[in-house]
Structure 1
Amino acid sequence: MNPLALLLLALSMSTDAFAVAIGKGASLKNPRFFEALRMGLIFGSIEAITPLIGWLIGNVAASYVDAWGHWIAFAVLVALGLHMLYEGLSPSREEIEKPSRHSFLKIALTAFGTSIDAMAVGVGLAFVEVSIFLAAGLIGLATTVMVTLGVMLGRVVGSLFGQKAEIIGGLTLIAVGAWILSGNL
């Protein structure tokens, strides 16, 4: 696989994480660059690990990942999106101040939900001439950059839309989950 194809693969693997990061950034109280970078590094690390796992699994679990991976991603993202919608629509939400950061667990679960497709890609990469470490590294790097930028863009969205940003973020998570599901039916 040539370097340009690897770069395009890495960028395409990070687009769903970018969309989710905008919603995550919008739901925070004035996120700073270091919080955006923290989230980017968590997403990027998970997004880099999942193709390695997929590559290692290779032929053994290819049918399982292909058959169920999109359903797992859909369920995780919809559950998190519904939680964000609940928080955004809650009447007492206006009295509660937005958090300045999301918990590691919440970020990691969201990152896992957006990286199931990268695991499936890793399975496919087991059957072609490619350096899996280079591919995983590029995917992780692209995701880190895209999520960091997405969180900072979400900061602007959050200040423009206020509490509705949480609703937008929840709808974004659900939309990404539906997009993953519809692309694999």
Structure 2
Amino acid sequence: MTWSLLFFTTNIFLGIGLAMDAFSVSMANGLNEPHMNKGRVCTIAGVFGGFQALMPLIGWFCVHTIAEYFHVFEKFIPWIALILLLFIGGKMLIEGIKNDCKEEVSAVSPGALFVQGIATSIDALSVGFTIAEYNWIMALAASLIIAIVTFFICIGGLIIGKKFGTKLSNKAQILGGIILIAIGIEIFVS
């Protein structure tokens, strides 16, 4: 593929498709932390965008170097995403039930955010196969387009989650946990 409008359009749509899991998790994070400030919103969206950029590059690198080993790993991707999201979602669900009487909800920890970033972008590893025909610069550009699209979609998810999180009060953490578990199951099934 060459630099063209088709290149940019394809990667924008690829970014939209890949960002849907991160969008849902962003909504859950917004539900969990309805009073987060703009800096925190940008940080969370940036983590998801960063992982969505990194994973296709890792996939591209694997295709160009260690492709035969990646095929063995590929069948474990849904299992990894399921386990990570079940763990984080289950933890949120349990904490939400334990703290049912409390008004204050805790912020998503850096470790949990890191795990969410990996879990929601692990399917983007396979995008490395679809961009394998690109040279290094085009693969990097495609990954950056995906990251930018993900960033803005996640900001939207966080804003939506914050709005409903304020209305749902102490039930938001329970709902956020259920959403993460459902996303994990959906990734595994599909």
Length-normalised TM-score, structure 1:
0.90
* Shift, 1:29, TM fit: 4.4
The equivalent of 2:31 in structure 1 is: 26
Give, as a single letter, the amino acid of the residue that structure 2 aligns with 1:46: F
Q: Find the counterpart in structure 2 of residue 106 from structure 1.
A: 112
Structure 2 counterpart of 1:17: 22
Identity of aligned residues (%): 28
Are 1:51 and 2:56 matched, yes or no? yes
User: Gapped runs of 5+ residues in structure 2?
Assistant: none
Return the alpha-carbon distance in structure 1 between the equivalents of residues 53 and 120 of structure 2. 12
Cα distance in 2 for partners of 1:139, 1:51 equals 9
CA shift for structure 1 position 94:
2.7
CA distance in 2 between partners of 1:170 and 1:25 (Å): 12
Would you say 1:181 and 2:161 are equivalent positions? no
2:104 equivalent in structure 1 = 97
Q: Which residue is 2:155 aligned to?
A: 148
Say if 1:95 and 1:165 are closer, same or farther in 2 by CA, change over 3 A: closer
Q: In structure 2, how many angstroms separate the alpha carbons of the residues matched to 1:42 and 1:104?
A: 10
1:81 corresponds to which letter in structure 2? Answer: G
Please say if residues 31 and 151 of structure 1, whose CA atoms lie closer than 8 Å, have aligned partners that are also in contact: no
Structure 2: distance between partners of 1:163 and 1:97: 7
Q: CA deviation at 1:121?
A: 1.3
Contact 2:49-2:148 within 8 A present in 1 as well: yes
The structural deviation recorded for 1:132 is 0.9
Kindly provide the amino acid, as one letter, of the partner of residue 49 in structure 2: G
Please give the per-residue CA displacement for 1:24-63, whole angstroms capped at 9, x wherever unaligned.
Answer: 1111141122211110111111111111111111123331
Closer/same/farther in 2, CA of residues 145 and 65 from structure 1, 3 Å limit: farther
User: What is the identity, as a one-letter code, of the residue corresponding to 1:83?
Assistant: K
Is it true that 1:115 corresponds to 2:157 in the alignment?
Answer: no
| Alpha-carbon spacing, 1:81–1:132, altered in 2? closer, same or farther (3 Å) | same
Q: Does the 8 Å contact 1:47/1:115 carry over to 2?
A: yes
**1:167-178 alignment runs, 5 A limit:** 167-178=174-185
Q: Secondary structure at the match of 1:95?
A: coil
The equivalent residue for 1:36 is 41
RMSD of aligned alpha carbons:
1.6
**How many residue pairs get matched?**
180
Matching of residues 64-79 of structure 1 within 5 Å: 64-79=72-87
Cα distance in 2 for residues equivalent to 1:115 and 1:16? 8
Tell me the TM-score normalised to structure 2 length. 0.88
Between the aligned partners of 2:9 and 2:176, the Cα distance in structure 1 is 32
Write the distance in 1 (CA, Å) between the matches of 2:153 and 2:69. 29
